[in-house]
Chains A and B, each alone.
Chain A
Amino acid sequence: MPKPSNQALLSVRNLRIEFPNRRGILVAVDDISFDIAPGEILGVVGESGAGKSLTGAAIIGLLEPPGRIARGEIILEGERIDHLPYEELRKIRGRRIGAIFQDPLTSLNPLYSVGRQLIETIQTHLPLNEREARVRALELLEEVGIPGAEERIDHYPHQFSGGMRQRVVIALALCAEPRLIIADEPTTALDVSIQAQIISLLKGLCHEHGTAVMLVTHDMGVIAEAADRVAVMYSGRIAEIGPVQEVVRTAKHPYTHGLMGSIPHIGHHVDQLTQIEGSMPRLQEIPTGCPFNPRCIQVMDRCLVERPDLQGVDQSEVACHLFDEAGLAAGAGE
């Protein structure tokens, strides 16, 4: 369990997200805790259904009913925000937390020009008049690398290409200089060559402004390149969290280990990729103990009954019984 730190920009404590339905309650995110420091890029990686996007949605208060935060706290700059009423949350969203979504086309209103949307967002959050807001919008567009911003500011979203649209979305997220940006699969809909542009842009901007980013993605490559720390999620829980170098190079959790092995690499040819058998359990079938136990090659008796907590190993934290004292002893005995 990570200790709450004083300098954390965002602290998530024991967050649990539930989806009640007529057959019972599905737990999509189960008791996760993590911190993001100012200016830090935290990558959140996992397969679809691991709960990574939901965690992002919960932080900005955009969980769609019937989904709900059942337990836990979300603390932004020392202030608890998870139980705020909608109106106040709306003010925080945009002003203090920006958001970037996967599909740039759906996050822009097709009926308004890009400039109009930027100016409106700026004026919602900052005390600027129309002229000043337009100047700021222009600055933002230039900052995110849109050539000919002066002219393009009056264009409509459909006149931009995919990569350019994503840049506009980033500009929108940056409008009010938020301290934190939640980026949910920001490069998934883009081609490889454009992906690299967007990642380096995002990285550069955050570095300049000291903005923290929670980068949600399924792409380990993007994480390896952009993130400072990474949290690996599995079945609504954090399996491993730590500095990106350590997690990528010396993955500790058997799941992370398998995940890294299953990614094909250019340069070293292998005949068969490492594969993790089976697939992530459905929400109503999450096994007791460690949720990874049916697929784990190093499964032990206690994995079937006892849920592992996160515990420090080197600079990372890993939720795996292999790293318990008993487990370590057993491992050493082999």
Chain B
Amino acid sequence: MNDVAKIEAPLLSVDGLVRHFDVSAPFLNRLIERLDRAYVKAVDGISFDIGRGETFSLVGESGCGKSTVARLIVGLYQPTAGSIQYEGVEIGPREAAADRKRIQPHMQMIFQDPFASLNPRWRVADIIAEPINVRGLLKGRAEIMTRVGDLLSQVGLSPADRERFPHEFSGGQRQRISIARALAGEPEFLVCDEPTSALDVSVQAQILNLMKELQNRLGLTYLFISHDLAVVYHVSTRVGVMYLGRLVEWAETKTLFENPRHPYTRMLLDAIPDLEMSGRQRIPVAGEVPSPINPPSGCAFHPRCPHAEARCRTEMPLPRNYDGVHVACHAVADGRIG
């Protein structure tokens, strides 16, 4: 399906993944006020592969469903439909619970908020030792503590930090502890949900560098979720752009940023503030993201799209492969835009 897949089987493969959330009013209200059940289509049929050792990024505005994808993959949510395969093993549906349990230790997750992702009552040593204990990787307190110390040094902290509590650390240091905890389970696949968006820029650089270094050293594969295009450009091998629960375009990072095809990708790139001070004016985009409870018909982007025509309002565009660039857009398919 994509270039990496041709060379070797993908590590993770997602196909037609759907997750709807029930946001209906309570039963009595529905009965008396004659309301229908309402669903948020947070993820509405997306497919992609992630090759071993690469960093695949999902980027999009708030509410586009990128975090939901992350949580579906690590099993925090059950998919409504579709499949998630890890090394060819199906782990998506509820029936695959046994396989999920077997595969689960291979993946770990890094969260956005370094102030909420560590249990405030636990010492750092216990936090990092938890995956080791759960997986039974090591026996004996002394051995585990040595390993915790190693992990702390790996992420740039001191083994002496074991005895401290999370509140004694700054945001960046806590994110390092989070990473150490994720690594403790010896995973091959890390899902990073906005790992730097709560951090200051100078600290963000430290964390991004650390993540890259760990990837090189340990051969990790990342699924990276972010709203920040510059960060995504910096870390990813391939990028997927999401809009209202769907992938509208995905391609190699360089290709996507140099030659964006989908009108939404172009819009996002145009909206980035210009640090070069080249005098380029940001193109203010018209309109806002519609509600995912009641998304527009046809192509969800059509109300904001400068290239929309009648067909876009009625028919949902399916992603098509243009030399490794996947785009879901009628205008691109018709050759109306590059």
Contacts and interface: CB of A to CB of B under 8 A. Distances in A.
Q: Do chains A and B touch in the complex (CB under 8 A)?
A: yes
Most chain B beta-carbon neighbours within 10 Å: one of A193, A200, A219, A269? A193
Interface in B236-270: 254, 257, 267-270
Given A218-B201, A262-B201, A264-B230, A194 B208 contact: no
Most buried by B among A161, A163, A269, A273: A273
A21 interface: no
Contacts of B275: 220-221, 224, 248, 260, 263, 265
A224 B284 contact: no
Interface residues of A, number: 47
A264 B208 contact: yes
Interface stretch (A119-127, A274-282, A320-328): A274-282
A192 B233 contact: no
Nearest to B203: A279
A221 B234 contact: no
A200 B282 contact: yes
Given A200-B284, A224-B273, A225-B274, A264 B209 contact: no
B304 to A, nearest CB: 9
B273 A275 contact: no
B273 A221 contact: yes
Nearest to A191: B61
Contacts, number: 124
A261 B204 CA distance: 12
Contact of A224 (B61, B233, B277, B283): B277
A266 B271 CA distance: 13
24 contacts: A48-B171, A48-B200, A161-B288, A191-B61, A192-B61, A192-B268, A193-B268, A193-B271, A195-B271, A196-B282, A196-B285, A197-B284, A200-B282, A220-B275, A224-B274, A248-B275, A259-B201, A259-B202, A263-B201, A263-B230, A275-B206, A276-B202, A279-B170, A280-B200
Interface of B: 61-62, 170-173, 200-206, 208-209, 212, 227, 229-231, 233-234, 254, 257, 267-277, 281-285, 288-289
Interface of A: 47-48, 161-164, 191-197, 199-200, 218-222, 224-225, 244-245, 248-249, 258-267, 269-277, 279-280
